[in-house]
Amino acid sequence: MNKVIEAVIVFFAICLILLGAIFIIASGVQNSVIGAVLVLVAVVMFTIVYRLEKVQASKPTLVSQTFNVKMEGSGQQNQKQMQCKSCGAPLGDKDLTVIQGGIMAKCPYCGATYAIEEAPKW
């Protein structure tokens, strides 16, 4: 409803500006004064619409969304056997060490030492 009123005010303001321009272009002091008053009224109308928009924009808007998530699967995780990058031998928990926040692996078979990088889960 507010938008309709603002649109009507803007329409009349534009009409007043055009009418005021016609009066200003027409010769005579009295016509120029009437034209200036019409343009001034139009400017006031535009200011009112601008203030209404500014007040409306400053109010917070509540956005609510509803969505459904379909959960599938058993919820159980399977443990993967870690393997050495060099020789492919299986690595156990005793072969892993945490150094400065990173996980280092040392192969008990070939002696290779490297940092384990976790792959992204997506």
In this prediction, residues 74-89 reach a mean pLDDT of 79
The pLDDT value given to residue 115: 86
For residue 1, pLDDT over 60 is answered with no
The pLDDT value given to residue 74: 65
Global pTM value: 0.45
Closest CA relative to residue 101, chosen from 82, 117, 86 = 117
How do residues 3-53 score in pLDDT, each as one tens digit? 888 889 899 999 999 999 888 888 778 888 888 899 999 999 999 889 888
Closest CA relative to residue 90, chosen from 76, 75, 103, 79 = 79
Report how far Cα 71 is from the mean position of its chain's Cα atoms.
Answer: 27
d(CA 90, CA 84): 6
